[in-house]
Structures are given as structure tokens and as C-alpha cells.
């Protein structure tokens, strides 16, 4: 079985896993975490000549409906929401099948709206359905020809649980028992409230579970903190219909040791 590697997992933003009929909660989270924007000054802004794609999704994906969020960078670094380089409201892309020497376009004319509400770095989420396993590349119109590569697997070939998959019973850190993880939450200025129960306890409740594995203090893309804030907001509106849990990626303050939950979920 091929699993997402530790490097691939840690390089991306927080991973949200929804078990049971949690699609509503996930949709609310996606809407809250950086909603679409429209700037009257940037509708047709061209990409910088030295633009680079920042891939904000794992390289290993499961066949079916895919969400492929991208950010942009240039020689000066990430293109930020309030930075001097303007970015377009909408990006257009195509997807190519690239294994076995191929370079075949399998989807084109894909568009993505810029999301930047409460985010330092905007992102553009593309949506596409790919059923065939293999190697692919998403290429932006006006962007670098090498694009961002990824591999599509069958559901049974990915170890990390997906939406609707069963989660293993695991005692995630709580306020009462940190289980060797310090701190149990790196949200500032104080820990988030989603550490009241363990994943094991949540599984016994018989309710859908929303689990976020992410680290606001050490996130490589700057999206873990707003994602967690959005999840806390969704949890407050869910009125107990779901069980929400946040778990940190690292077991120590300096991010030198991966937390046990990463191994338990096959993310290592």
C-alpha cells in the first residue's frame, strides 16, 4: 500500500478528515477558510514573468473528485494578499496525463477564483474529476510549463483516511491528558477549544467526527491557523451535531518530533 509520505504531509496545510455524514461541516469549513474575493483593480492582471506554482495539496490523491489549491510565488517569494505584486481574481489551468511518456490534455479551461479573506497568502482552488490512476500535471495558463505534478491512486492504495472512511481509535491529546505532546495546541494567543475529548471517545458517541491535523505555529503555507479558526467557528455553529477535534502535527514546541497521531493515521 502506498501512503502519503511525511514530507508530503508536512509540506501541506492542515489535513481535515471527516467521518460519517460530515460533508456539511467540511463545506462550511471550506467556505469559512478564505472565501472568494473580487478586486476591481485585478480582474485581468497578468501573471508575473517569473511566476512559480506553490502546490498546496498532497502529491498523492485518490481518484474521483479532486480539489487542487494553488498559490503563487516569484523570485521574491510568495505573492501575498497585500503585497506589491497584484494577482488575478481568476486563474485558468489545464491538466495533463504525463506517465508512460505521455503529455495528453485530459481537462482544460479549468478556472479557480482567488480566496484571500483573512489570509496572508491567497490561494486558487481548482476542482476536477479524475477517475483513472496515474501521473498528472496541472499547468496554469501563462504559468511555467512544468506546472505541479501529482499522482492519482485507487482508494485502497492510500493509507491516509479520506472523507467518509473509518478512523482508527486513537487517544489524541486533551486538556486533561496531553499524552506527551507539548503544547497540545499552538494556536495563539491561547489553545483552541477542540481538545476536550480523544478520538477514541469521539468514535463512541455515534456522531460524525471532524478531525483537523494541523500546526498553526509551524505551518509551511500559513493556512493552518485560519483553517483552525474556521473549524472553531463551524464547531460553535454545529450545536453538538458533530464532534470536532484538533491535533497538532508535532509533539514538541520546536517541531523536532512528529506527534503520534501522524503515525496513527498513516501520514508518516
Query: What CATH number does the domain containing 66 carry?
Result: 2.60.40.10
pLDDT at 94: 98
pLDDT at 19 over 90: no
Residue 84 falls within a domain, yes or no? yes
209-220 average pLDDT score: 90
- Look at the chain and count its residues: 268
Q: Once rounded to an integer, what is the mean pLDDT over residues 7-25?
A: 39
Distinct helix (H) and strand (E) counts, the chain: 5, 12
Other Cβ atoms within 10 Å of 189 Cβ, number: 4
Ranking 121-135, 163-177, 218-232 by mean pLDDT, the lowest is: 218-232
Report residue 180 as a C-alpha cell: 506527551
- How many independent structural domains does the chain possess? 1
Q: How far apart are alpha carbons 268 and 259 in whole angstroms?
A: 10
Does residue 114 belong to any structural domain of this protein? yes
Q: Integer distance in angstroms from the first to the last C-alpha of the chain?
A: 13
Residue 240 in any domain: the answer is: no
User: Does residue 173 belong to any structural domain of this protein?
Assistant: no
d(CA 132, CA 129): 9
For residue 46, tell me if it sits in a domain.
yes
User: Across residues 171-187, what is the average pLDDT?
Assistant: 98
Q: Mean pLDDT over residues 175-182, rounded? A: 98
Question: 96 is in which domain, residue-wise?
Answer: 36-154
Q: Is the pLDDT of residue 241 over 80?
A: yes
Amino acid at each position: 500500500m502506498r501512503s502519503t509520505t511525511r514530507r508530503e504531509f508536512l509540506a501541506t496545510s492542515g489535513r481535515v478528515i471527516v467521518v460519517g455524514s460530515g460533508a456539511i461541516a467540511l463545506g462550511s469549513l471550506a467556505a469559512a477558510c478564505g472565501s472568494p474575493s473580487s478586486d476591481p483593480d485585478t480582474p485581468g492582471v497578468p501573471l508575473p514573468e517569473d511566476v512559480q506554482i506553490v502546490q498546496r495539496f498532497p502529491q498523492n490523491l485518490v481518484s474521483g473528485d479532486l480539489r487542487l489549491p494553488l498559490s503563487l510565488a516569484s523570485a521574491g517569494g510568495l505573492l501575498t494578499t497585500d503585497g506589491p505584486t497584484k494577482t488575478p481574481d481568476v486563474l485558468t489551468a489545464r491538466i495533463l496525463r504525463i506517465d508512460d511518456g505521455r503529455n495528453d490534455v485530459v481537462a482544460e479551461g479549468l478556472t479557480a477564483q482567488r480566496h484571500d479573506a483573512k489570509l496572508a497568502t491567497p490561494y486558487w482552488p481548482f476542482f476536477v474529476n479524475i477517475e483513472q490512476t496515474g501521473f498528472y500535471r496541472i499547468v496554469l495558463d501563462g504559468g511555467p510549463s512544468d506546472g505541479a505534478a501529482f499522482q492519482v491512486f485507487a482508494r485502497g492504495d492510500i493509507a491516509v483516511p479520506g472523507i467518509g472512511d473509518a478512523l482508527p481509535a486513537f487517544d489524541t491529546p486533551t486538556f486533561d491528558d496531553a499524552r506527551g505532546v507539548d503544547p497540545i495546541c499552538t494556536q495563539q494567543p491561547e489553545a483552541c477549544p477542540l481538545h476536550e475529548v480523544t478520538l477514541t471517545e469521539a468514535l463512541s458517541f455515534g456522531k460524525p467526527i471532524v478531525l483537523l491535523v494541523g500546526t498553526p505555529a509551524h505551518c509551511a503555507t500559513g493556512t493552518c491557523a485560519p483553517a483552525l479558526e474556521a473549524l472553531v467557528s463551524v464547531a460553535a455553529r454545529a450545536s453538538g451535531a458533530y464532534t470536532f477535534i484538533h491535533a497538532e502535527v508535532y509533539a514538541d514546541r520546536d517541531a523536532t518530533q512528529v506527534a503520534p497521531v501522524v503515525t496513527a493515521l498513516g501520514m508518516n
